[in-house]
Amino acid sequence: MKRPSIRWSSVVVVIGTSLSLVACTEDPVDDSVVLTEKDRASWSLPLDPYQRPLVDVVASAQDAFIQDCMRDSGVLWKVAPTEREAAVGESWNPVGRKLFSIELASEYGYGNSSEIARSVAAQRAMYEAESANRSLPESAHAVFDRCLADSRDMTNEASGRGSYELAEQLAGVAYGDAKADDDVEAAASRWRGCLREAGVPDLPRSPDQMPPDSIAGLRGSNVDGADASGEDEPVPAEEIRLAVADAACRESVAYASALYEAEWQAQAEAVAARADDLSRYKRQIDDERARAEAYLAEHAADAR
């Protein structure tokens, strides 16, 4: 028997210390919501349109604003331009959810590509800018803090933050609910039986706890680091073997498909239950991004 669904109306998100996301009586909205297309390969989910994207025009606009602001104050602050065709790295979906498949395991083991797929030149420019900014005198810190605050005012960032907070909270609860689904738990049990044959001595109870210490310890760096490229350090052959076996087992015992369907359903219920709030905050996100686009168009068209 399936576990009961979460009562989404009881989920409360607190921003800062006092603001709760509850239905408002002003600025009425309709009940329409944005839905994504179902696609397990990219692990797209109903709350994705309400979460912060990895390739973020708002971040690009704020970086450009800070550069201009600090230059006006006599401080050289370097920003590496974001390439116009910037794409999300192959290990990630557009809102930063890590992907795992036989193909990715064959390339990265339990590591990842970079979050943003940058050219070699763009990657070098980013590192050079970061290095130059770190060498600025301490007197520049106050200027940066002021320019950062002003950049957030420029895009009206505070208005869109509520959506990200709400979507993140709802997504976290949905994931927990999906993990507790009977079909998912049964598939996790089958997964353990499948992967046990690969010879993992400290096999965890669930795939989301992979890799255990015996695998993570095969290389010295943070195996699951967000910015690991898979090229800075060779991936041990044994890690790749076990990661491929893991990914293959998740498919063969239907764990991946069961988890995706359960998580999709849980998020769809959350979106339906909080449609008013999500629609209101989505309009604020759209306004924030429009302000960012306008700033870049006027001041830094080549920084996108």
Question: What is the model's pLDDT at position 18?
Answer: 28
High-pLDDT (> 70) share of the chain, %: 79
**β-pair partners for 39:** 44
**Mean pLDDT, residues 45-68 taken together:** 90
Banded pLDDT at 44 (limits 50, 70, 90): very high
Element (H, E) at 265: helix 255-273
C-alpha to C-alpha distance for 34 and 189, rounded to whole angstroms:
35
Task: Write out pLDDT tens, residues 264-280.
Answer: 999 999 999 999 888 88
Q: Given a cut of 70, is residue 300 above it in pLDDT?
A: no
Q: Given a cut of 80, is residue 74 above it in pLDDT?
A: yes
Q: Given a cut of 50, is residue 9 above it in pLDDT?
A: no
Q: Given a cut of 50, is residue 29 above it in pLDDT?
A: no
C-alpha to C-alpha distance for 159 and 72, rounded to whole angstroms:
27
Higher pLDDT, 112 or 159: 112
Banded pLDDT at 85 (limits 50, 70, 90): low
C-alpha to C-alpha distance for 98 and 36, rounded to whole angstroms:
18
Q: Given a cut of 80, is residue 3 above it in pLDDT?
A: no
**Mean pLDDT, residues 181-204 taken together:** 94
Question: What is the model's pLDDT at position 39?
Answer: 95
Average pLDDT, the chain: 81
Q: Tokens standing for 31?
A: 């009940």
Are the CB atoms for 53 and 292 separated by under 8 Å? no
Question: What is the model's pLDDT at position 136?
Answer: 81
**β-pair partners for 87:** 117
**Mean pLDDT, residues 206-212 taken together:** 93
Domain boundaries, given as residue ranges, for the chain: 33-303
Question: What is the model's pLDDT at position 57?
Answer: 87
CA distances from 297 to 65, 162, 216, 252, 292 (A): 12, 26, 45, 49, 9
**Mean pLDDT, residues 59-74 taken together:** 89
Q: Backbone phi, then psi, for 139, in 5-degree steps?
A: -65, -20
Q: Given a cut of 90, is residue 107 above it in pLDDT?
A: yes
Question: What is the model's pLDDT at position 220?
Answer: 66
Most confident of 164-173, 180-189, 198-207, 222-231: 180-189
Q: Given a cut of 80, is residue 100 above it in pLDDT?
A: yes
C-alpha to C-alpha distance for 65 and 277, rounded to whole angstroms:
30
SS (H, E, C) the chain: CCCCCCCHHHCCCEECCCEECCCCCCCCCCCCCCCCCCECCCCECCCHHHCCCCCCHHHHHHHHHHHHHHHHCCCCCCCCCCCCCCEECCCECCCCCECCCHHHHHHHCCCCCCCEECCHHHHHHHHHHHHHHHCCCCHHHHHHHHHHHHHHHHHCHHHHHHHHHHHHHHHHHHHHHHHCCHHHHHHHHHHHHHHHCCCCCCCCCCHHHCCCHHHHCCCCCCCCCCCCCCCCCCCCHHHHHHHHHHHHHHHHCCHHHHHHHHHHHHHHHHHHHCHHHHHHHHHHHHHHHHHHHHHHHHHCHHHC
Q: Backbone phi, then psi, for 14, in 5-degree steps?
A: -110, 125
Residues in the chain: 304
Distance of CA 153 to the CA centre of its chain: 24
Most confident of 24-28, 65-69, 176-180: 176-180
High-pLDDT (> 90) share of the chain, %: 41
**Mean pLDDT, residues 4-9 taken together:** 41
What is the model's pTM? Answer: 0.79
Task: Write out pLDDT tens, residues 142-163.
Answer: 899 999 999 999 888 766 566 7
Higher pLDDT, 84 or 78: 78
Banded pLDDT at 5 (limits 50, 70, 90): very low
